[in-house]
Structure 1
């Protein structure tokens, strides 16, 4: 989120959802869902590196498990997430793509 706020045109819009989506695919393959994907849990290893890394897995749970917490306001459907579901992650990935599209195109720099 900091990188987008600092220099929206510097973020390669397609790289972030692609990389985060790949990480989510690995989690799903292991039988887990992240349940709280949003821009504040995505980091980069360097200023000039566009490879995203997911951090903060405290909401990650096995698929189908009841959630005790999950989702960031504005990045989830409804008031609360109740179960760990792949759809939670897919919806958040769509919201992330929308967020990056809006941020990078509103500056006229992308």
Structure 2
């Protein structure tokens, strides 16, 4: 995981209905970094607002907004859970293909 710090939005660029934010934060090494987000749908964030940033302590220039990171992780968990649930009915078919390929059963 990364280190969590507070950052300040120093710029907002709008493109259709999403915004790209420039967020400045100070890493543990004492240096200032600026992170430019991918387009986000967080219209409530404006220049001068404080946001939570999570950055890689080994490469402090690599960062994410905490909220967008949580959304990505939630999406990954949901996709994984959906695969497991949807994949359960396929187990008998996969077993049959394995047995067929192995020569244990014949069609």
Alignment TM class, shorter chain as reference: 0.3 to 0.5
TM-score after normalising by structure 1: 0.32
Is the strand fraction higher in 1 or 2? 2
Highest RCO, 1 vs 2 (Cα 8 Å, sep ≥ 6): 1
